[in-house]
């Protein structure tokens, strides 16, 4: 079964626009679980423009599915994740002011750094996933860090999907096969939607988890949150 993890950053963005607690991030997370989400993802950034440190602390005791915290492994981020001890941490190479994740790690260049960080999270029993491009070499070096999974950055697939879906998915199939051969778990994330998700899963049936936020929240404006989650799960487990 491929799990659906709902990224709730956009809920926090909406809340922060007015400064109060509407919508309530914790309540929405619990509703996502109630409606069928099998995980909750958050990406706290240093400027707290969406998910805040306090949100992470508030969510941890309430989440009953898998809690995934993603972010750049600064000393502050590492300390927060080791304090909270989620099911999974996803390491992304974002600069502090970056709008959104737009590339994976160069795991060859940062092999020693990522190995050290992975070890620190493993000390707490936290599963580690490394965000990489669909490049078999980067997947191979990610395996050398001792990480448990890779998350493939799927924006290139989403961008090309409407023009040539076979060409769009081909590098992801190759990278996924490399991960599979090396015994790595496999996650996917970024710009996945109801339009392109089913085909990706059909071509790569052994994905462990898809983390989806922006498109899912946009769809929920029209379909409602419960129906949206049902449709995304149906794409992954028809």
Q: Is residue 43 flagged as an active site residue?
A: yes
Q: Is residue 122 flagged as an active site residue?
A: no
Beta-carbon contacts of 59 under 8 Å, excluding residues fewer than 6 positions away, are 25, 26, 29, 40, 42, 67
Residue 210 exposure: Cα atoms within 13 Å on the Cβ side: 31
Give how far Cα 101 sits from Cα of 91, 154, 181, Å.
11, 11, 27
Count of beta carbons in the 10 Å neighbourhood of residue 199? 16
Count of beta carbons in the 10 Å neighbourhood of residue 20? 9
Q: Quick one: tokens of 209?
A: 């988890």
List alpha helices for 126-195, DSSP H.
Answer: 136-144, 155-160, 165-181
Instruction: Answer for the pair 213, 180: CB distance below 8 angstroms, yes or no.
Output: no
Peptide bond into 23 cis (omega under 30): yes
State CA 12 to chain mean position distance: 16
Q: Is residue 190 flagged as an active site residue?
A: yes
Which residue is catalytic, options 33, 50, 190, 209?
190
Which residue is catalytic, options 70, 151, 201, 209?
70
CA dist 62 and 124 (Å) reads 20
Three-state DSSP class for residue 68? strand
Query: Which residues sit opposite 7 in a β-bridge?
Result: 41
Residues annotated as catalytic are 43, 70, 190
């Amino acid at each position: 079964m491929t799990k659906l993890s709902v990224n709730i950053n956009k809920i926090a963005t909406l809340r922060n626009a007015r400064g109060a607690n509407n919508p309530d991030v914790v309540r929405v997370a619990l509703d996502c679980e109630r409606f069928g989400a099998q995980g909750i993802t958050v990406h706290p950034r240093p400027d707290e423009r969406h998910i805040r440190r306090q949100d992470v602390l508030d969510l941890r005791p309430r989440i009953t599915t898998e809690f995934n915290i993603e972010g750049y492994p600064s000393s502050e981020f590492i300390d927060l994740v080791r304090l909270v001890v989620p099911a999974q941490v996803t390491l992304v190479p974002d600069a502090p002011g970056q709008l959104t994740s737009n590339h994976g790690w160069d795991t060859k260049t940062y092999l020693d750094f990522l190995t050290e960080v992975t070890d620190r999270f493993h000390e707490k029993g936290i599963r580690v996933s490394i965000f990489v491009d669909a490049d078999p070499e980067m997947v191979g070096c990610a395996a050398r860090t001792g990480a448990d999974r890779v998350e493939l950055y799927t924006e290139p697939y989403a961008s090309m999907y409407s023009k040539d879906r076979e060409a769009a998915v081909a590098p992801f199939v190759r990278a996924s096969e490399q991960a599979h051969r090396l015994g790595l778990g496999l996650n996917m994330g970024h710009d996945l939607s109801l339009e392109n998700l089913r085909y990706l899963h059909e071509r790569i049936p052994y994905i462990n988890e898809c983390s989806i936020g922006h498109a899912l929240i946009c769809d929920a404006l029209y379909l409602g949150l419960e129906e949206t989650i049902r449709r995304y799960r149906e794409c992954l487990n028809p």
